[in-house]
Amino acid sequence: MARATAQTAQAPSRANSPPPEEYEEGINVQDILKLKSAAINTVTGVNMTTRRQMLKIKGSSFATGLEVQEKRKRVLMISTGSKAVDTILGGGLNSQSITEVYGEFRTGKTQLAHTMSVNVAQVAYIDTEGTFRPDRIRAIAERFGVDGNMALENILYARAYNSEHQIVDSIMALFRTDFAGRGELSERQQKLAQIAILITNQVQSDPGATMTFVAGGALKPIGGHILSHASATRMFLRKGRAEERVAKLVDSPDRPESEASYKLDEGGWADV
């Protein structure tokens, strides 16, 4: 399973290039234009402007911490199938977020993707290695008390043979079809808030790991810093004793680094 990615042409020179849609600080071009129209042209100017004045800027996209907290209440927790792993994740994989899991062969990366496909309402499954198995979906669905045919019906499957196939052309297209008109805008936004993205990744040897401590030992995920910065939550999977597997929470915006054991059975991930 692979993350949906977007590709762009080589960037033009800075002198001739248009401003980016959004800067690293989270402020987009429209925000800056609105601030400038209110004669706020510097960071110091923003700091010296009261919250009430900022809110008077028409259409300003700034939000208070309390407003962000309220939006976070809509985040869903999706079970991995293992209560121990769910615990270190704070309840499961988060919606409104990108989660990356990486590890060796037979650590359950594909099984987790299959489990997620059963535990959510609708799925877009992009398969880069040809490992999607409808029979596994049926077995996992049976464990969770879900009708196998219904689970498969809710999965939109695509086989990606090269990097261009991994592009999702307009993720909003189906939502605009299902929720047409302003009257259904609120329901559409609620559905969008429930989107969760899971990407699985392979590992490679890290020669430098013998010199310094590296999460995951002498193995590191493929993709380097570019992919790591794109993922909000990262888990490293490794083999334990016998049938035991270990999930190490390497990076999370709100959870401490920790480990949990799990095993793989007919119903996907389960507790040891």
Give the pLDDT confidence score for residue 5 in this predicted structure: 37
| Domain stop point among 62, 87, 110 | 62
Give the pLDDT confidence score for residue 12 in this predicted structure: 41
Asked if 226 and 254 sit in the same domain, the reply is yes
Give the pLDDT confidence score for residue 174 in this predicted structure: 58
In a domain, residue 186? The reply is no
Asked if 132 and 38 sit in the same domain, the reply is no
Give the pLDDT confidence score for residue 181 in this predicted structure: 63
Domain that holds residue 261: 71-161+194-270
Asked if 151 and 239 sit in the same domain, the reply is yes
What is the rounded CA–CA span in Å between residue 16 and residue 50?
35
In a domain, residue 168? The reply is no
Total tally of structural domains belonging to the chain: 2
Asked if 135 and 49 sit in the same domain, the reply is no
In a domain, residue 227? The reply is yes
Asked if 143 and 55 sit in the same domain, the reply is no
pLDDT tens-place values along the chain, 272 residues long: 444 433 333 334 444 444 555 454 556 777 788 888 888 888 888 888 887 787 777 665 667 788 888 888 888 999 999 999 999 999 999 998 899 999 999 999 999 999 999 999 889 999 999 999 999 999 999 999 999 999 999 999 999 988 877 776 656 565 666 666 666 666 666 666 678 999 999 888 776 655 444 444 578 888 777 777 788 999 999 999 989 999 999 999 999 999 999 999 999 999 99
Asked if 102 and 136 sit in the same domain, the reply is yes
- The CB-side HSE value for 33 (13 A sphere, CA atoms) comes to 8
Domain of 219, CATH number, reads 3.40.50.300
Asked if 145 and 199 sit in the same domain, the reply is yes
Give the pLDDT confidence score for residue 172 in this predicted structure: 57
Two structure tokens written together for 197: 């993205």
Are 85 and 248 a contacting pair, CB within 8 Å?
no
Give the pLDDT confidence score for residue 184 in this predicted structure: 63
Are 148 and 141 a contacting pair, CB within 8 Å?
yes
Asked if 45 and 109 sit in the same domain, the reply is no
| Domain stop point among 42, 62, 82 | 62
What is the rounded CA–CA span in Å between residue 152 and residue 148?
6
In a domain, residue 20? The reply is no
Q: How is residue 130 annotated by DSSP?
A: S
Determine phi and psi for 175, rounding to 5 degrees: -65, -40
Asked if 110 and 49 sit in the same domain, the reply is no
What is the rounded CA–CA span in Å between residue 50 and residue 263?
54
In a domain, residue 184? The reply is no
Two structure tokens written together for 14: 């800075």
Asked if 131 and 100 sit in the same domain, the reply is yes
Asked if 117 and 46 sit in the same domain, the reply is no
